[in-house]
Amino acid sequence: MAEKSFKYVILGGGVSAGYAAREFAKQGVKPGELAIISKEAVAPYERPALSKAYLFPEGTARLPGFHVCVGSGGERLLPEWYPEKGISLILSTEIVKADLPSKTLISAAGETFKYETLIIATGSTVIKLSDFGVQGADAKNILYLREIDDADKLVEAIKEKKNGKAVIVGGGYIGLELSAALRINNIDVSMVYPEPWCMPRLFTSGIAAFYEGYYAKKGVKIIKGTVAVGFDAHDNGEVKAVKLKDGRVLEADIVVVGVGGRPLITLFKGQVEEEKGGIKADGFFKTSVPDVYAVGDVATFPLKLYNEIRRVEHVDHARKSAEQAVKAIFAREQGKSIDEYDYLPYFYSRAFDLSWQFYGDNVGDTVLFGDSSPDSSTHKFGSYWIKDGKVVGAFLESGTPEENKAIAKVARVQPPADSLDELAKEGLTFACKI
């Protein structure tokens, strides 16, 4: 089979790939030099839409509406943009073998791709319940969400099981966003997760209490402190019930599982240095292998602000790390230098009519401010994290754009906070005056 050669190859066609492509174009990539190879059948899009407007009964998002780079207010890169720029968008092509020493990638169909410089942007995959042997986990309508094909299956199931029952397994991002999306579709929703409160990786018990109360008001039943240990199916193979470790059995027409992601790095095992479950990269997203870069979910990189090595599974970092890598590649070619990546962690979520943003680091003491009662009319409340007398992290629900900018600034500037009580009393005012 024919061999194709490119100066640059981006492996993966998700968020990072799309933002990298835009940066390549800005930097003046020449026609024929760049290829994006993706196992998805569509051009890069804003993945966050899949757990939100893609599933809404009204105001539904569909491609081409959310191709990159609309998610950050940029120009939308329609599928035709790539050929117009002389960029080869090679879709529905899964790479099954990567040989970094010979700079070769091989697809499932046997095509060979050669590169001079490679950007690994393979993102994450879902952790499946079958990965840890949960009985009956391969029943029909037990669904996961990572790519647009998964979202289409969900849309189909929602249509087919109108007014039916869903069990959401997991209390993280997918759990919270999908419970809301299914509820908006008038599905009867129960959520199950092992921890004492939802989103424990980020939320304090105080923050979580608001969301759990709010979800309960919307009719979502929350079952904490237990896990799904098995599933029953109908004769046609469709899921019928979820068996919990605490002995309870929940009826279900649809099950959505969101028990975490895993970076897709197996292709490169033993060929590149790893750290903290990802591919080790420097502040320019260069890996331990010459001419190989890693960006987005797969990259473990120096978080300069905290003098730590971290991996981040969020869209803002996917966009920015991709841009940084491409800038670094061009700077190197031109014998120039650019500043090291200096990232301020930024995570957000939206569900029902709620919308929160978080900036910084969630370590140290915490204070809750504002009206965090689920019955509040404004839903405006937040939290600060304080370490070594400085505010290092800030969370805000229902902030205005200016207020969100203010909490971002707090997390970046890390102002001192002498008294936690004072900080709690001042609340958002503290951020707005920084």
Binding footprint of ligand NAD on the chain (CB under 6 A): 51, 124, 169-175, 177, 192-195, 227-228, 258-261, 313-314, 347, 349
Cα–Cα–Cα angle for 80, 83, 85, rounded to 5 degrees: 105
What residue 165 binds from ligand NAD, ligand FDA, none (CB within 5 to 8 A, per partner kind)?
A: none
Residue nearest ligand NAD, Cβ-based: 172
Residue 295 CA, chain-centre distance (Å), reads 13
What residue 175 binds from ligand FDA, ligand NAD, none (CB within 5 to 8 A, per partner kind)?
A: ligand NAD
Residue 272 and residue 134: Cα distance in Å, rounded?
33
Is position 12 an interface residue for ligand FDA (rule: CB under 6 A)? yes
Please count the residues of this chain forming the interface with ligand FDA, following the rule CB under 6 A. Answer: 35
State which residue, 107 or 316, has the beta carbon closest to ligand NAD. Answer: 316
**DSSP H or E segment with residue 293:** strand 292-294
Report whether 243 contacts 230 (CB < 8 A). yes
Closest CA to 6 of 69, 80, 89: 89
Pairing of strands 239-244, 95-99: unpaired
Rounded to a whole number of angstroms, the minimum distance from the CB of residue 16 to ligand FDA is 3
Closest CA to 48 of 387, 260, 315: 315
Pairing of strands 95-99, 104-107: antiparallel
Q: Which of residues 212-251 bind ligand FDA (CB under 6 A)?
A: none
Site string for ligand FDA, 342-361 (x = CB under 6 A): -----xxx------------
Residue 388 and residue 55: Cα distance in Å, rounded?
43
Which of 37, 137, 198, 207 binds ligand FDA (CB under 6 A)? It is 37
What residue 264 binds from ligand NAD, ligand FDA, none (CB within 5 to 8 A, per partner kind)?
A: ligand FDA
Residue 398 and residue 382: Cα distance in Å, rounded?
9
Report whether 96 contacts 11 (CB < 8 A). no
Which stretch in 80-88, 139-147, 212-220, 374-382 sits in contact with ligand FDA by CB under 6 A?
139-147
Positions touching ligand FDA (CB under 6 A) are: 12-17, 37-40, 47-48, 50-51, 94-95, 121-124, 145-147, 264, 267, 296-297, 313-316, 318, 347-349
